[in-house]
Each structure stands twice: as structure tokens, then as C-alpha cells.
Chain A
């Protein structure tokens, strides 16, 4: 792989912050196959993208979750010592309300292995999870509950993290329906 020039590249001048108001998720154990990381990329652009899609096992599917605007964040943290650098990807989100579905999700997710697909404001997606590591619940940095004042925001926040050697764009599909055997 050779380096290439990296120019200012903002198609249509778009470069808005934040993430979309939907994140996609599923159980890590329900994944049949994962997209492939670049092994012998031709250039640096190819070195930043996964090939293929997350394929679910028969009878299993991915799901979507609504999050309040301006509460979601996808963050890339660099970690490790010299010659041992890697990344921890963070997803923070806030779901409004304390309905049974979100409480049930939190109950199930807090100690289970998950994966997430996060979409940024330009529609570019990032996958948190691979065949070796899932995304896991870390806590609720923005809290959760009813709030104190009547003007407070009631709901549940959550943070999920995923450790990875590299960061990639996900260009696969997200079927929100069950996989079949054929």
C-alpha cells in the first residue's frame, strides 16, 4: 500500500457533527458472518473501509433504536503505549422515556455482547463489533431516570464501547428483518 495525498474533501460542503437519530444493534452471538477488514489494500482509502455486510444467523435480525437528537455521539479514542496503539470506539446515546422496551433493552444489554452500527450526519456508517470482540455496555454517563425538575429530560442514557486495532467505515447493508437459511 502506498500513501496518497489527502486533500480537503467535503462533498457538497457537508461536514455536520453528531450522529443520526437511529442506531442499529443486535446480539453479537446472532451474527453469522462479519465484513472483512482490508488485508492488502491498494491505497489508504481502501485501508479505511470494510468489505461486505454483517450477516445474521437464520431467524435472527438487527434492530433499530431511536435516540434523542444531539444526544448521540460516536467517539474514537486512541489508547495504548508506544508500538502498541489501538482504539476504543465509544457510542453514547439517550433514549427518551422510561418505557418497558428501553428498560428491557438495558436489562438485557448491560451484561451481554452486542454490536452496533452508527450513522453519522453524512450517512457514513461505522461498525462496532467484529468476529473477535463485541460492543459492551460501560454505563450511563449522562444518567438515566426521571430527572429532578419537571423540565428535566426523562429517559435512559447508555455508553457502549468496542476495542479495535483500526477504525473502518462500514459500507454494508443493514437488514431490519429476519435472516433466512436460504
Chain B
């Protein structure tokens, strides 16, 4: 009787299970033969029915196996997670079918049909991705036009940066302060001189030939280091009770936050030289770094202000009652607490900064995206845009994803502290 009403129940578990799984099997066989063998087993039906047949069959199949508390652990798990209602059944099937249809061809393009070996475009058979392009241009993508023999200088700078960041985690608390000071004040000077050269017998390398991923890192590292203190002072300025300081800070912050980065870069590239004394010249990269720094400082200021506002008034009162002045109160009592509160926000601002740096290509600085744009127009490598941008996307994704994961971890760790 129950078979007629089509309401699955526990008594006839095995019948329904057999019916449901066989319907599901037909639906999956249908989609598999359709995708991989180019053969439609439901081709005799009208085209729209045939197109939807796996979905219809699968939905009925899932309907039959939707039996609550069946006692079978696997079945209960499937029902709970994928098949709790008809809508969920359809959604699950659609997601599975999309995966079956597109993931294999994507993997084929990325790996199985792709070409890795060779040195020219002709070494690629044209079916999958041509990673030869990325391999041949790899050095350019990383270092731009920086001469091959001098690239150790860039590597050395990043090695110093990474090892000192690593040292912050390893060394005891007492040394951390010195490393941070080193990173903030001494490292930028060392790195700048090492990379640009011109002293200590190092060959001078003009900023015009800097490029690739290392330029992305250089720009973001310098902007990071400088935007932080400026942001802190702007935040303090915005919270100040002196009207002139307060309103000029507000004006400065809102001005930068209201305009897109591209216009700021245009300003630094074409408008700013007009403001310099006649005959003086400031390096384009320098101008761009200053522009990005000021731009991000405005965002940083808002993040820091959030932290300052979140601190209870008692902290200010307590510091004042100890006889502390404005600066001592802020740098010994308020800032250490406020900054700790907004570490996730700071990390997000840094993340946004890294994601913004590819934009510098609009003013003619060739970082990773720009170098790929250059390489794909090379007559020997036409038609390689997809490979190039997919490669850049993967590189940036790895950087940004690990940064965002780290900031989430930090957020969790800090939220349990309070």
C-alpha cells in the first residue's frame, strides 16, 4: 500500500532503498555517459526532458531514500547533510552534476593535458594549458627587467625581511622590540640601497627596470611600514578635542577614502610633478609609493579609531589620574590596548593593500600583472593570456589566502583573551 502513496517508511526500508539507489544510479550513469562518452541514454525523450532527466530521476531517487532514523548510519548521515528536504535534494544534485561536468575538464586543462616542458610556444600541443610560457618567463615575472646577475640583491633583501619576521616569533619577548625597530627604521634603508645600488660598488639599477612580483612586494612592504604610523597619528588627530586638528584630520581621511586608488595614482603620476619646484624630479616609483602610503594611511586611521573608540573611558581617566600627559597616556596606556583590539582590522587593511598593488600598472610600473600583459603581447607568445593570468591569480591567491587565514586565526586567539 505504501508504495502507491510513495511515502517512504521504515518498514519497507529495503524496498525503498533499492528503488532509490537504482534511480540514483541511472541518473549518475546518464550524466557520466553524457559528459565523458558523448552518448545520451535518454536521447529518445523530448530534448528538455532528456536534458533534465538526471535531475528528475535523482530527485525521485533521493525522495525514496529519505527515511528518518532508519538505523543505517551512512544513510542517516546522507539524509541529514544532503537530503533533508526536496529542495535540498535538488540543490545537492545540481552541485554534484556541476562538479562532474566541469571539474574534470578544468583538471585536464590545468594538469593532464597541459605542457610543462619545452622552451617555445611550438612545444605546446594546444589542448591544455601551456605552462611553458610561465616557465620561460618566470624570471621576468618575478624580477621584471632587473638584470639576472644582480637578482641576488632582491633575494637577499627578502631573506632579511623574512628571517627578521621569523625571529619575532622565535626570540623571547625582550628582543622583539629591537627587531620591530630594526624593521621599521633600519631595514627600509638597507633594502632600498641594496636593491637600487649605486653605493659600496653595487651596480646602480634604475627603478624603471624593477618589476614583477618583487616590485609588488617592494611597494606593499614600503607602504605597509609607512602607512601604519601615519594612520595612528591621523586617528589620534581625528579624536582630538582641538577643532583645527580634528577637522583637518577628518578632511584628510575622508578625501582619500572618497576617491578610487586609480585616480590617486594618476594624481601622483601626472599632477604631482606640477607641484614640485621647476627642474626637480622625483622618481616615479617613489611618487607611487607615497601615494599608496597616504591612501592606505587613511584606511588605517579609521581602523585605529575603531580601537580607540572601543576602549572604555576609565582607561583614559585612570591614566590621567596618574598624572600622565597626552602623549604618555596615549603611547603607554591607550595605544597598546587599542591596537591589540584592532589587529584583525589592521591585517585586513594590509590584505587590501596587497590586493591593490597590481593597480600600479596603470601608471606604467610593470609588476606581476603588468609583466604578464607585456609577455602576452610578445609576438612569439601570442594567445597566452589565460595561462599568464591564471598563474598570477594562483600566486596572489596563495599570498592573500594565507594572510586572511592568519588574520582569522589571530582574531580567534585574541577574542578568547578578553
A associates with B: no
- List chain B positions with a Cβ less than 8 A from chain A: none
